[in-house]
Amino acid sequence: MTTKKFLQKTIRLLFYIAVFFLLFLLFYILVTFVTSPINFEKSKITDTKLCVCLFDSENRPIEHTFLNGDYISLKQLPDYTKQCFISIEDKNFYRHHGVNYKRMVMAMVKNILSFSFKEGASTISQQLIKNTHLSSDKTIKRKINEIKLTFELERKMSKDEILEYYLNIIYFGDNCYGIQSASEHYFSHSASKLSLGESALLAGLIKSPNKYSPVKKYDLCLKRRNVVLYEMLKDGNIDKELYNNEKMLKTDINVNTYDNNRNSYATAVVDEAENILKLPEKQIALAGYKIHTYMDRNKQHALEDCLPNDISEDVAMISLNAKNGYVEAYAQKSTISLINIKRQPASAIKPVLVYAPALNENIISPSTILLDEKININGYSPENIGGKNYGYVDATFALSQSLNIPAVKVLSYVGIDKAKYYLEKQNISFCSNDDNMAIALGGMTYGTTLKELTNTYQTLANSGNFIKTCFIKYIVNSNGKVIYKNEQISKNIFRDDTAYLISQMLNVSTKTGTAKRMSDLNYFVASKTGTSSCSNENLDAYNISYTSSDVVGCWIGNIDNTPTEIVGGGKPTVCVKNYFNKIYKNKTPDDFNMPSSVTEVEIDELGLINKHTVYKANNFLPERFRKKALFSRFNMPSEAPIDDMRMCETELLGKVKNGVIELEFCANEYYIYDIFVKKNGVEEIIDTVKYKNGKTTLAYSINNYKDSQFYIKCKLKNYTTGEEYLLFESNIVSFET
């Protein structure tokens, strides 16, 4: 080694020594002056009944699983289970006095060099303190407090006690606290029966329960398990043969579905509380917060009863108050929490992304005629389910039958950016790739959650006013002070006429459309179904329905995207219907009140048929061709032009064939034709023709009308006043014997 290199190495070593002593001095000062207010409390570790206090809308406690789960003693665990955690988390656990100084100094140096505070170097004892006494903030003050309390922990508890409580408190993901809870959840058996592979898997989990989740990221979880096994090999806890065998084996995951389904509402509440308080669940429990929710216990039980037990798919159902968006019930059947899972919304997005914006922008009315035909928009050629095209249909039919092509056409009229803007104002997010016509059919990159999607329907049920849905009413701290209160302010998204009209359109879906399994309900229900698919295989099935009182969403599918045979109009619709039957058993909801901004208009049905255009019926349109329809006062149809009632005289033709007089003329459906016969100077009406269009033939026996003259008097009726006007008389046709 050259003198220059030796000098550089010496200077570097002296620098590290100086840094170490500086850090030690800083550590001493911080321990002396910063940590004095905090004290070690053994009860925070030994209390195995720790849980978050939740209350329903009537201030009654909500049953919630204890954070620490069922307690299990160290003696009940296999030796290799304990060794797994020590090998991967704290090799010197039984040799140090709470802090691994070497690892701590190395971590501090790395933090200084990287200008960050990422390296923790926590021992098992430190982790136990952090999970029972402190927040998860990565600050120097918290770290110093952690070290101080760890020293106290080591003086007051034995190593075996520390390890035992650690294993019963540490978080394993999926709302599992403690090794017993984790073992029962992931493997459906007690921790006392853990295999070596299962033990290594759980030990590997705690570094990052979400990143190494055996349910969501199984392959990554197995790699992490093998890291644990390798550390055990290095520590001499297993031999090479056992290591090689174990790392090649699969560790079977057998999730206890029931355990994860219970308290679905409570789990969602805690998730919301963590976001509000910026604290993990453990700290919320330790701090003694009391969380008051909007849970309606009767609706919660009803929703839980409506979860289907005859299918293997994941299911989630949510019930919102229609007026204020409060989550009054939430239930699910899955191996993981579904409340924040995003899925493709399929056709369930059509009312809120396509049709409601089009109504609000006065682009369409419920009666607007749309041509359902094969289309190609910039290379995008959607098809209806089954590949059938229906020709000219009105917007209500297109929505109720969930036709894809009309939905894409209407989106093109509205514009993608404007349509997305309506949903973005309701907290539905799109990514940069969601910039094509496929979003009309729910084709989003990341999709949306069931709660978010159902919330947009609550806007429709609430006269077009959006209120962000939530579980929590208010939160009280341990001193009884309210530290959070839900004060969501509504914001107007759609006019009240838009909300009312889209509700009427979705009621047709309930009566004769894709949600017709609800058609026998004797109260007003607006409903929309949706089914997403990939390569002609169904992945997601929805029903979102609402009354004037409640908005309910149901999703069925498989989180791992395994195909399903279920469609939105099937099981999801039945689940929602069953829920309505339960909550409306004694009292049915009121109908929606029609706002003053909506009016009923008689429209020209002939204009729909012949011109595919919506016209207001003029005074001369026969009643037979009048049809009542609802319109926004901001988007009224124009009156049918009088040009359609062509005042052309009619030529009457006649002949006798086989003793029968045949009269023929060309009729117009707007006119009334009285057929007259004159015999011996006496005039008599023998027939009246109306609502006919085109060639019209009449037949009479010649024996009854010998030596008679036939002619027509054509009239036009004003159906508003009831008056009739003679327009003209036709030529005379005579038959003389």
Based on the domain organization, do 412 and 560 belong to the same domain? yes
- Helices and strands (DSSP H and E) totals, the chain: 24, 23
Confidence of residue 114 (pLDDT cuts 50, 70, 90): very low
pLDDT tens digit string along 548-606?
999 999 999 999 899 999 999 999 999 999 999 999 999 999 999 999 999 999 999 98
Residue 704 is assigned to a structural domain of this protein: yes
> Residue 437: pLDDT above 90?
yes
Based on the domain organization, do 565 and 603 belong to the same domain? no
Residue 273 is assigned to a structural domain of this protein: no
Give the Cα separation of 50 and 288 in Å (integer). 10
Q: What rounded mean pLDDT belongs to the chain?
A: 88
Residue 450 is assigned to a structural domain of this protein: yes
Answer with the one of 583, 608, 623 that is the final residue of a domain: 583
What single-letter DSSP state applies at residue 121? -
Greatest mean pLDDT range, 2-6, 355-359, 378-382, 607-611: 355-359
pLDDT tens digit string along 472-488?
999 999 889 999 999 98
Predicted confidence at residue 455, as pLDDT, reads 98
Based on the domain organization, do 715 and 608 belong to the same domain? no
Q: Within 10 Å of residue 212's Cβ, how many Cβ atoms?
A: 22
Predicted confidence at residue 65, as pLDDT, reads 61
- 262: burial class by Cβ within 10 Å (0-12, 13-18, 19+)? middle
Confidence of residue 453 (pLDDT cuts 50, 70, 90): very high
Do residues 488 and 325 lie in contact, with contact meaning Cβ atoms separated by under 8 Å? yes
Predicted confidence at residue 82, as pLDDT, reads 95
Residue 609 is assigned to a structural domain of this protein: yes
Per the structure, the complete domain to which residue 17 belongs is given by 1-33
Predicted confidence at residue 687, as pLDDT, reads 93
Q: Within 10 Å of residue 294's Cβ, how many Cβ atoms?
A: 22
> Residue 115: pLDDT above 50?
no
Q: Look at the chain and report how many structural domains it folds into.
A: 5
**Residue whose token pair is 């003198």:** 3
For helices 179-187 and 196-205, angle between their N-to-C axes, nearest 10 degrees? 120
> Residue 3: pLDDT above 90?
no
> Residue 278: pLDDT above 80?
yes
Copy the structure tokens of residue 567. 């469609």
Do residues 267 and 293 lie in contact, with contact meaning Cβ atoms separated by under 8 Å? no
**Please, which residues bridge with residue 678 across strands?**
683, 709
Based on the domain organization, do 494 and 522 belong to the same domain? yes
Confidence of residue 71 (pLDDT cuts 50, 70, 90): confident
Q: Within 10 Å of residue 545's Cβ, how many Cβ atoms?
A: 29
Based on the domain organization, do 698 and 558 belong to the same domain? no
- Mean pLDDT is lowest, of 59-63, 174-178, 683-687, for 174-178
Based on the domain organization, do 121 and 235 belong to the same domain? yes
Quickly list H helices, 101-248. 101-114, 124-133, 140-156, 159-169, 179-187, 196-205, 218-234, 240-248
Residue 166 makes CB contacts below 8 A (sequence gap 6+) with 85, 124, 125, 127, 128
Based on the domain organization, do 541 and 407 belong to the same domain? yes
- 257: burial class by Cβ within 10 Å (0-12, 13-18, 19+)? middle
Predicted confidence at residue 120, as pLDDT, reads 53
Confidence of residue 31 (pLDDT cuts 50, 70, 90): low
Q: Which of 60, 125, 43, 59 is nearest to 92 (CA)?
A: 125
- Residue 278 CA, chain-centre distance (Å), reads 24
Based on the domain organization, do 214 and 238 belong to the same domain? yes
> Residue 69: pLDDT above 90?
no
Residue 245 is assigned to a structural domain of this protein: yes
> Residue 152: pLDDT above 50?
yes
Based on the domain organization, do 407 and 553 belong to the same domain? yes
Percent of the chain past pLDDT 90, that is, above it, reads 62
pTM of the model: 0.79
Predicted confidence at residue 113, as pLDDT, reads 47
Q: What is the mean pLDDT of residues 606-628?
A: 89
Q: Which long-range contacts (CB under 8 A, 24 or more apart) does 420-424 make?
A: 420/353, 422/352, 422/353, 422/356, 422/357, 422/360, 422/493, 422/494, 423/349, 423/352, 423/353, 423/456
Based on the domain organization, do 43 and 74 belong to the same domain? yes
Based on the domain organization, do 564 and 666 belong to the same domain? no
| CA angle, residues 726, 728, 729, in degrees to nearest 5 | 115
- 522: burial class by Cβ within 10 Å (0-12, 13-18, 19+)? exposed
Residue 267 is assigned to a structural domain of this protein: no
Q: Within 10 Å of residue 732's Cβ, how many Cβ atoms?
A: 13
Predicted confidence at residue 25, as pLDDT, reads 58
Predicted confidence at residue 241, as pLDDT, reads 93
Confidence of residue 727 (pLDDT cuts 50, 70, 90): confident
- Mean pLDDT is lowest, of 37-41, 468-472, 493-497, for 37-41
Residue 279 is assigned to a structural domain of this protein: no
Answer with the one of 236, 261, 286 that is the final residue of a domain: 261
Answer with the one of 200, 229, 261 that is the final residue of a domain: 261
Percent of the chain past pLDDT 70, that is, above it, reads 89
Give the Cα separation of 304 and 318 in Å (integer). 10
> Residue 256: pLDDT above 60?
yes
Residue 592 is assigned to a structural domain of this protein: no
Specify the pairing of strand 626-632 against strand 653-657.
Answer: unpaired
Give the Cα separation of 552 and 580 in Å (integer). 9
Please tell me which residue, 64 or 550, carries the higher pLDDT value. Answer: 550
Predicted confidence at residue 119, as pLDDT, reads 47
- Mean pLDDT is lowest, of 63-72, 319-328, 480-489, 614-623, for 63-72
Based on the domain organization, do 551 and 663 belong to the same domain? no
| CA angle, residues 469, 472, 476, in degrees to nearest 5 | 155
- Mean pLDDT is lowest, of 81-95, 167-181, 372-386, 438-452, for 167-181
